[in-house]
Amino acid sequence: MYINQTAGYWGQATSTIDWCEENYATTKYVSEFWNSFTNMFFFYFAYHGIKNSLKMGLEIRYVFCYLGMVLVGLGSFMFHMTLKYSWQLADELPMIYCTAVVLYCSYNASNLGKPSTIVPILLFVYSVLVTVTYVYLNIPAFHQVSYALLNFAILYYAYNDQQEIIRRKSRFQSDFNILLINTTFGFIISFFLWNVDNIYCDNLRAMRKVVPPFVAPLLQLHGYWHIGTAFACYNGILHQQLLRIACLGRERDIEIAYFNYVIPYIKFRKAPKL
């Protein structure tokens, strides 16, 4: 990662990672202004997800999924604002915790009986072990593999439940596919831009100096990682909720709608006019 030791309000960077955005270029109080404030999308999507979950009367565990997004967004905001190692951990480790909650939801989507007690215990132990090991080893690859394992487990359970529901000729089939596409490509495209930001940092910095000031922020490509992953996480949790609704047999009462033709959400179906 690009290392820039320019000091501002927060002093010298202590994080093991620094990004391509010029430190304290916008204000002396925020090290990476655009990388910080693009995390507002986590709060935006989480707010709508929580409000919608409560309105639809779904289990409280889905609210915790969206609260996990808030935790990730807050940690990332503070990390990019300060470039301090403690906030770096507050950015990276909540990714494990939030994903563990989503895995619990995925595991229980088709369970119509009493929720499992052993699974949350195992996920808690896993999260603690990852936390302690990562703080001790400080190897980014370990964190990435630990995070990936949780996501593969989510995909496994979600895929099995979705296939079973589709076999029952669910009217949610196209909605499932759209939400999965949004989730997958949200991660892939934002991950691609993140790596372009890393690899071509010098070129991007040179370009930001010659383009008009209002264009320069658009070339802060790591910020698109925050926007894309916030969108992907929101769609992924929504996919989990739709699976749960189908497993509970509430398909006739529920439908997917779109805010501004882009952002999906769950709502009650309107009764047909007589």
SS3 percent helix, strand, coil of the chain, rounded to 5, is: 70, 5, 25
Contact 43, 70 (CB under 8 A): yes
Question: Does 226 count as an annotated binding residue?
Answer: yes
- Looking only at the bridges linking them, the beta strands covering 263-268 and 254-259 are antiparallel
In 3D space, the residue among 33, 26, 24 whose CA is nearest the CA of residue 6 turns out to be 24
The half-sphere exposure of 12 on its side-chain side, counting CA atoms within 13 A, is: 3
In 3D space, the residue among 123, 107, 103 whose CA is nearest the CA of residue 160 turns out to be 107
Q: Which residues pair with 263 in a beta bridge?
A: 259
Contact 49, 241 (CB under 8 A): no
Question: Does 19 count as an annotated binding residue?
Answer: yes
Question: Does 164 count as an annotated binding residue?
Answer: no
Question: Does 21 count as an annotated binding residue?
Answer: yes
Question: Does 23 count as an annotated binding residue?
Answer: yes
Tell me if residue 27 falls in helix, strand or coil. Answer: strand
Positive or negative, the CA dihedral 250, 251, 254, 257 is positive
- Cα separation, 119 vs 228, in Å, equals 29
CA distances from 74 to 40, 139, 166, 248, 253 (A): 9, 22, 37, 33, 35
Question: Does 251 count as an annotated binding residue?
Answer: no
Binding site for Ca(2+), by residue number, is 18-19, 21, 23, 32
Binding site, by residue number, is 18-19, 21, 23, 32, 80, 222, 226
Binding site for Zn(2+), by residue number, is 80, 222, 226
